Amino acid sequence: MYTGLSPFDGPTTGGGLAIIYNNDISVRTHPLSDSIHPSLFEFQLVKVTFAAKSVTPINIYQPTSHALSSAFFDELSDTTGAVVAGTIDYSCVATSTAPDLSVQR
């Protein structure tokens, strides 16, 4: 059996976005969806989980009636950057002494 998920609730510039998936897979609206609101394209962010592994696909739509512009690519870059920053666990290693970066002659 298949289910459809259409969490996009912003203004549509076309037919809207949806994800159709098999019920054996868990698909939920990603929590970051509420904080990312691009204006030049429709945007859908979900978390897909199967067999204890998960991925976060980004579904976007920009109608062909809108010309691609540098503003579109800037907003796309900002949007994907926000998703990556919000979905990757960063670890930071700190040391108490700085490494010796001097040039040996």
Give the model confidence (pLDDT) of 38-78 as tens digits: 888 888 888 888 888 888 888 888 877 778 889 989 999 99
Residue 60: other Cβ atoms inside 10 A: 15
10 Å Cβ neighbour count for 54?
13
Q: Where does 5-103 have alpha helices with state H?
A: 70-87
pLDDT at 75: 92
Q: Whose CA is closest to 17, among 52, 26, 38, 25?
A: 38
Instruction: Supply the pLDDT for residue 98.
Output: 44
Which of the listed ranges 16-20, 61-65, 74-78, 83-87 does the model predict with the highest average pLDDT? Answer: 74-78
Give the pLDDT of residue 91.
40
